[in-house]
Amino acid sequence: MFSQASTFGRPRHHANLYQQVGVETSVVSANPHTLTLMLYDGLLTQVKLARQALAEGRVADKGRHIGRAAQIIDEGLRSALDTKAGGDIALNLRDLYDYAQIRLLQANRHNDDAALKEVLSLIEPVREAWAAIGVKFPG
**DSSP code for 75:** I
Mean pLDDT across the stretch 119-123?
98
Please, what is the average pLDDT of the chain? Answer: 85
CB-based contact 55:92 (threshold 8 Å):
no
Distance between CA 11 and CA 85 in Å, rounded? 48
The reported pTM is 0.79
pLDDT at 22 over 70: no
Mean pLDDT across the stretch 100-109?
98
CB-based contact 103:114 (threshold 8 Å):
no
pLDDT at 74 over 50: yes
47-70, pLDDT tens digit by residue?
Answer: 999 999 999 999 999 999 999 999
Cα dihedral angle (21, 23, 29, 35), rounded to 10 degrees? Answer: -160
Going by pLDDT thresholds of 50, 70 and 90, the confidence category of residue 134 is confident
Mean pLDDT across the stretch 23-45?
83
How would you classify residue 10: left for phi > 0, otherwise alpha for psi between -120 and 50, otherwise beta? beta
Mean pLDDT across the stretch 90-108?
98
| Domains of the chain in sequence order | 11-136 (1.20.120.340)
